[in-house]
Chain A
Amino acid sequence: MSGHSTYEPKSAVGKWFESRLPIMGLIHSSFVVFPNPRNLNYFWTFGGILAFMLVAQIITGVVLAMHYTAHADMAFNSVELIMRDVNYGWMLRYLHANGASMFFIAVYVHIFRGLYYGSYKAPREVLWILGVIIFLLMMATAFMGYVLPWGQMSFWGATVITNLFSAIPGVGEVIVSYLWGGYSVSNPTLNRFFSLHYLLPFMIAGVVVLHIWALHVPGSNNPSGIEKKTDKDVLPFHPYFTVKDAFALSCFLMVYVWFAFYIPNFLGHADNYIEANAAVTPSHIVPEWYFLPFYAILRAIPDKLLGVLAMFGSIAIMVVVPWLDSSKVRSGNYRPVFQIFFWLFAINAVILGWLGSKPPEGMYVVASRICTVYYFAYYILVLPLLGLFETPKSLPASIADSVLGRGGSGSAMASGAASSPSTKG
Chain B
Amino acid sequence: MDKVTRRGAWVVAVMVTAILAALWLEYALSPWPGQHLGHTQAGHIIGWIGFGLILLTFAYPAQKRLRPNQIWSRPRLYMHEILGILGPLLILVHSGAHFHAVVPVMALVALGLVVISGIVGAVLHSLAFRTLYDRRHELAQGGLDDRAIDARLHELAAQEGILRWWPWVHVPLTAVFVVLTVMHVGGALYFGGM
**A and B bound?**
no
